[in-house]
């Protein structure tokens, strides 16, 4: 036990204690998924959102089932087709892996989540904008594909699957699922 005396005034301790209780109730009800508490207490929810105290990450609560990659299939107006894929993390040096970790996060967790379907058009548009101006007029269609390499419990050498996610037509500025 410390020998120092408590220096904070009683009044200050009361206010801080009230804050501590409110804060602890908020983070415990959020973290331990006591959804009812948050649902019926908008003040706690607003507090957690405003100060960014919600915790979304779960440290591999669900173990990954596959390696997923963003792939673009370019359809040129002259009929040629070109598959464009980004470098995989295991092909990069250590510093590049660190620099690219946000891309890895985006690719593995966010890009193909159906809840984020509004990102698919953004992704195609970003890819289109990154092409040379001379190429842009020759692109007929961009297909966004998800390349999935599932893990096998006995071997990791499984065949990749390509899943069509989104079609983007630059000339018409319209797209269909």
Partner 1 sequence: MKALLECWNEFFFRPHSSGAIALCRILSGLVLLFSLYLMYGDLTTWLGYDRDAVVSLESSLACLPKYPCLALLNLNAMNDDLLFFFYWLAVLSAAFMTIGYRTKLSIAICFILLQSIMRRNPFILSGSDELLSQMLFYLFLSNCGASLSLDAYLKEKARMPVNDKSAPWAQRLLQINLCLIYLQTFILKLQQADWQNGSALYKVFQARELLHFPVPDFISSSQIICRCFTWSALLFELLLPVLIWYRPWRKWLVVLAIIFHLCMEYCLNIPLFQYLMIACLLTFVDGVYIKRFFHRLRPLRKVHSKA
Q: Which residues bind partner 1 (CB under 8 A)?
A: 1-2, 4-8, 13, 16-17, 20, 23-24, 27-28, 31-33, 42, 45-46, 49-65, 67, 88-90, 94, 97-99, 101-111, 116, 118-119, 122-123, 125-126, 129-130, 151, 153, 156
- Measured from the CB of residue 136, what is the shortest distance to partner 1 in angstroms? 12
Of 31 and 164, the one with the shorter C-beta distance to partner 1 is 31
Distance CA 168, CA 177 (A): 9
- Measured from the CB of residue 80, what is the shortest distance to partner 1 in angstroms? 25
- Measured from the CB of residue 79, what is the shortest distance to partner 1 in angstroms? 28
Return contacts of 87-90, CB within 8 angstroms, 24+ apart. Answer: none
Of 11 and 79, the one with the shorter C-beta distance to partner 1 is 11
Of 1 and 172, the one with the shorter C-beta distance to partner 1 is 1
Of 128 and 162, the one with the shorter C-beta distance to partner 1 is 128
- Measured from the CB of residue 23, what is the shortest distance to partner 1 in angstroms? 6
DSSP state letters, the chain: ---PPP-S-HHHHHHHHHHHHHHHHHHHHHHTT-HHHHHT-HHHHHHHHHTT------SSSS---EEEEEEEEEEETTS-EEEEEPPPGGGS-HHHHHHTHHHHHIIIIITT-GGGTHHHHHHHHHHHHTS-HHHHTTEEEEEEEEEEEE--SS-S-PPPEEEEEEEEETTTTEEE-
- Measured from the CB of residue 167, what is the shortest distance to partner 1 in angstroms? 18
Of 27 and 140, the one with the shorter C-beta distance to partner 1 is 27
């Amino acid at each position: 036990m410390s020998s120092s005396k408590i220096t904070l005034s009683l009044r200050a301790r009361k206010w801080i204690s009230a804050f501590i209780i409110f804060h602890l109730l908020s983070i415990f009800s959020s973290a331990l998924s006591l959804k009812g508490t948050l649902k019926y207490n908008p003040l706690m929810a607003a507090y957690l959102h405003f100060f960014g105290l919600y915790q979304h990450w779960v440290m591999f609560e669900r173990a990954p089932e596959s390696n997923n990659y963003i792939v673009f299939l370019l359809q040129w107006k002259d009929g040629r087709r070109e598959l464009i894929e980004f470098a995989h993390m295991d092909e990069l040096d250590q510093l590049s892996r660190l620099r690219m970790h946000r891309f890895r996060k985006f690719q593995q967790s966010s890009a193909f989540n159906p809840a984020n379907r509004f990102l698919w058009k953004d992704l195609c548009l970003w890819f289109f904008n990154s092409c040379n101006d001379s190429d842009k007029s020759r692109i007929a269609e961009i297909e966004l594909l998800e390349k999935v390499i599932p893990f096998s419990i006995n071997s990791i050498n499984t065949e990749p699957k390509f899943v069509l996610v989104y079609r983007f037509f630059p000339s018409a500025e319209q797209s269909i699922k």
